[in-house]
Structure 1
C-alpha cells in the first residue's frame, strides 16, 4: 500500500473514496460544508434509520459520492482530543474502519483528511503517528492511501511520519539481493570468540574496545547497505521503547531496525563500547533478525 501526503481540498480529490471527518450527527465535515445534495440526502436517511442516536465515535459509514470526483464518501466520527483521557484508540479506529469499508466497496484508492485535528483539537504530530501506524497495521489490498492536508503545518507533520519510514525502507530496498546475502552470511559466520570484545588501556590513555575484524566487517556492511541512516538518533534513542535492547523490534517497521542500528553504530563514535553493549544486550541480533525477515518475507530481496 503506497502512502502519499498532498496539500489541498479533500472534496476535489481524484480517488475512489474520500473520507469525511464528521461528528456523530453525520451533518458536519468538509463534504457537508460543500453542500453536496446527494451525499447530504443519504446522511439524513442514515440518521433517520440506522444511526438515530448518531454515528458513534470511531465508527464509519459510506454514502455515494454524488457529484464529487470520488465514487464514495466514507464518513467517520472523529473524537475530540482530551488532555485527561486517552482517546487514541478511537482515532485509530476512524482510520481502520474507513479503510476496511473502502476495501469492502472495492476501492483501490482512498483519501483521508487529518481526522480530529481541526475542531477536534488533536495535536498534529500525535494525530499523524496514530493515523499512519493504524493504517499500516490494518490488513488491506488498497493500492494507495492519500493524506490530504489543508495547512502547511499539517502537511509537514504527516510528511514527517509517512516519508520517514518509507524513505528509509526505499533506501534499503534499492540494494540488490546479493549484498543482503553478504551481510547475513557475515553475521552467520561470526563465532562466539569473534563476538567477544576486549579492552586495551595504552599508557596515559583511556581504555578503548577492540573488536574482531569479522565483526567490523558486519558493521561496515550495515553502513554500505544504508542501514545507518541520517536522523536524530540521540533523541530517538532517548524516547523509543525499542532502545536499548531491541525488544519489540520484530513487530516494528523495518525503518526502526535501521534507526536502532544507527543509534549503536553512530553512538560508538562518541562513546566507545556502545557496540559492545549492543552485542551484550541482544540489540544487534534483534536488528539482524528484523532485517532478515524483511528481506525474505516482506521485501523479497534476499532468497
Structure 2
C-alpha cells in the first residue's frame, strides 16, 4: 500500500472512499464531519439515520467504522470512524489506532482501492497533533489491507508537516523495502535458503543459561542460547537488508503478524522484512524474543515469505 500526504480539502478528493472523523451520533457535526455532510448532501445523513434506526441505536462506538454512500462527493463511499477525545489521565491510543484499522477494514469490505483519511481526533477532540500523526501513520503502515493508496488529507500546513515528519520516521515504504531486497546479490539469497532448507528440529531448540548466583546477592540474568544454524540465518537476514530501519515498536503494537506471523504468506514481502526486524531487535536484551518466534512459527513464516518472493515475485535482473 502506498501512503501519500496532501494538504487540502478532503471533500474534494477523487477517491473510492473518504473517511469521515465522525461523532457517535452519525448525525453530522463540526470540522471534517460537518464539511463532509454539507458537501455530500442529504443522502449521507439519510443513510446515517437508517444505521441509527437499525444497527447503531446507541450510536457508533468509539474506535469503530461504518460505510454509507458518499452522496454528492467525488467518491463512492464515506467511511464514518469515531475517534476518541484525548485524555491526559487515560491512554486511549488504542482507540485512535482502531479508527484507522477499522476504516481500512471497511474499505476492504466495500472494495475501495483508494482512501482519503483525515487527522482523526486532532481537531476539536484535542489530540496532540504530533502524537496523532505518529499513531495514524504507524497504524495505516502496519494494516493488513487490499487498499492500494491511503491518502492523508490534512487541512493546515502545521498538521501536514506533522504527518510528513511521522511518515519519514516510520521508515521506508513497501516499495522501497522490496527494491532494497531486490538489489541484494543472488548468492546471499541462495545462502539463506540453503541454511533454511538444512534446518532440523534440533536446530530450533533453545537452551537457557545463567540464573546462577555469581556472588552473594548477585544473580546472573538468564539468557537464551540459539543454535549455530539459527544464528547464521539471522546474520544473513541482516546482510540481505531485511533488517530495515523503521519504528518497529509501533509496527508491532496491535499488528496481527506479531508474534506468530500468521497471514504473512499473503502480505507484502516488506512485512517479512519488518517482522524480521522486530524479531531481531526485540532480542536486544536476550529476553527470548527469537525463541518465541521459533516456537510460534514467525521465524519460519519470514523465511517462507522471502522464499516465495525470491522464486515468484522478485524483479528480473540483468
What TM-score do you get using the length of structure 2 for normalisation? 0.62
Conservation of the 8 A alpha-carbon contact between 2:133 and 2:163 = no
Partner of 1:60: 66
Question: Is the CA contact (8 Å cut-off) linking 2:6 and 2:151 kept in structure 1?
Answer: no
Aligned CA distance change for structure 1 residues 261 and 14 (closer, same or farther; 3 Å): same
DSSP 3-state at the match of 1:75: strand
Contact kept in structure 1, 2:259 and 2:292, CA below 8 Å: no
Cross-structure match for 2:35: 33
Contact 1:62 1:101 in 2 (8 A): no
Residues 81, 121 of structure 1: 8 Å contact kept: yes
Q: Deviations over 1:158-198 (max 9, x none)?
A: 443374676445523554776433213135547979x99xx
Contact kept in structure 1, 2:37 and 2:45, CA below 8 Å: no
Q: What is the distance in 2 between the residues matched to 1:11 and 1:90?
A: 24
Distance in 1 (CA, whole Å) between partners of 2:173 and 2:49 is 44
- The total of aligned residue pairs comes to 268
Q: Tell me which moved more, 128-137 or 74-83.
A: 128-137
The residue number in structure 2 matching 1:102 is: 107
TM-score by length of 1: 0.64
- Alpha-carbon distance between aligned partners in 2 of 1:281 and 1:105, rounded to the nearest angstrom: 38
Residue equivalent to 2:17: 17
Distance 1:262 1:22, change over 3 A: closer
Gap change, CA 1:259 and 1:79, over 3 Å in 2: closer
User: Using a 3 Å threshold, how does the CA distance of structure 1 residues 42 and 132 change in structure 2: closer, same or farther?
Assistant: farther
Residue in 1 aligned with 2:77?
72
Q: CA deviation at 1:51?
A: 2.2
Contact preservation (8 Å) 2:86, 2:125? yes
**Contact 1:125–1:158 (Cα < 8 Å) also in 2:** no
Gap change, CA 1:71 and 1:178, over 3 Å in 2: farther
Q: Give the structure with higher Rg (CA).
A: 1
Would the aligned equivalents of 2:65 and 2:106 in 1 still touch at CA under 8 Å? no
Further displaced range: 145-154 or 119-128? 119-128
Shift of residue 119 of structure 1? 2.0
What is the RMSD of the two structures over their aligned residues, measured on CA atoms? Answer: 4.7
- The runs of 5 or more residues in structure 2 that have no matched partner are 207-225, 265-270, 313-318
Q: How does 1:235-274 map to 2 (within 5 A)?
A: 248=259, 250=261, 253-254=271-272, 255-261=274-280
- Measured in 2, the distance between the counterparts of 1:280 and 1:79 equals 32
Mapping 1:106-255, distance limit 5 Å: 106-123=111-128, 124-125=130-131, 128-129=134-135, 132-133=138-139, 136-138=142-144, 140-150=145-155, 151=159, 152-161=161-170, 163=172, 167-168=176-177, 170-175=179-184, 179-189=188-198, 218=233, 221-230=236-245, 248=259, 250=261, 253-254=271-272, 255=274
Unaligned 5+ runs, structure 1 = 197-210, 242-246, 268-273
The 8 Å contact of residues 5 and 149 in structure 1, kept in 2 or not, is answered as no
Does structure 1 retain, via aligned residues, the 8 Å contact 2:85–2:125?
yes
